[in-house]
Amino acid sequence: MIDFHTHTFNSDGELLISELARRSSVVGYEAVAITDHCDFSNVEELISSTLKVKSYIEKYYGIILLAGVEITHVPPEAIADLTGAARSLGAEIVIVHGETIVEPVAKGTNRAAIEAGVDILAHPGLISRANVMLAKEKGVALEITSRRGHSLTNGHVAKLATECGARLIIDSDSHTVSDLLTLEAAKEVLLGAALSESQAEIVFNNNRELLREVIK
């Protein structure tokens, strides 16, 4: 499993970075990104904290650890600037907390994230076809999530992305140990989003391709 969306107690998760990495390794993860919630107040601290432990975790736990952030409830007009700041600080993955239907995310967040060229638009809710087409053009991945609440619109996201040819990936949005996904559990989430077996395999390949792009 390759998971680009997880949280530690540096935001609203329950685990240390080291513990999350170890738990992920034991479950069978090949790679995990630490993407705690960020705005301008903590972006430097979050990226630095992951980079500090990256080399020894990869050495001793046998898992690829990616330093990232999830830009969360930031005004759409500021997303591009914060994306640039995160990348300049060494972020290997930048995702944006999309317009999930279970939180009051500002309208325009999905569009702003795609225009900023982030890596992943997380749980984008009832994303429009126009924004899905733009995501395809910009190479921004759209997330299928196993996270309770955010997953309510997985079927909508999967349908439009499949029709438009946009890249889909699957993530756990893990906040605790029980949120981590086995490959079998991830496959069930994809099938539950009305994707076929072959389409599910394409999603897994998309995760692998994105990882290769990030670590090249």
Instruction: Using alpha carbons, select from 141, 69, 152, 77 the residue that is nearest to residue 108.
Output: 77
Q: Quick one: pLDDT at residue 195? A: 98
CATH number at residue 17: 3.20.20.140
Calculate mean pLDDT across residues 62-89. Answer: 98
Query: Is there a contact between 140 and 164 (Cβ–Cβ < 8 Å)?
Result: no
Here the tokens at position 81 are: 């600037």
- For the chain, where are the alpha helices, taking DSSP H only? 17-27, 43-61, 79-88, 109-116, 129-138, 154-164, 183-192, 197-215
Cα(58)–Cα(56) distance, integer angstroms: 5
Residue with the two structure tokens 């430097």: 44
pLDDT in tens, 107-129: 999 999 999 999 999 999 999 99
Calculate mean pLDDT across residues 65-93. Answer: 98
> What pTM was computed for the model?
0.97
What type of residue sits at position 12? Answer: D
Calculate mean pLDDT across residues 181-199. Answer: 98
pLDDT at 198 over 90: yes
pLDDT > 90 fraction of the chain, expressed in percent and rounded: 100
pLDDT in tens, 16-26: 999 999 999 99
pLDDT at 9 over 90: yes
pLDDT at 147 over 90: yes
**Total domains, the chain:** 1
Calculate mean pLDDT across residues 116-144. Answer: 98
Q: Quick one: pLDDT at residue 216? A: 78
What type of residue sits at position 132? Answer: V
Main-chain dihedrals φ then ψ at residue 144, nearest 5 degrees: -95, 130
Q: Quick one: pLDDT at residue 215? A: 92
Cα(112)–Cα(186) distance, integer angstroms: 28
Handedness of CA 198, 26, 170, 44 (dihedral sign): negative
Calculate mean pLDDT across residues 63-91. Answer: 98
Q: Quick one: pLDDT at residue 107? A: 98
Tell me the residue range of the domain where 30 lies. 2-215
**Arithmetic mean of pLDDT over the chain:** 98
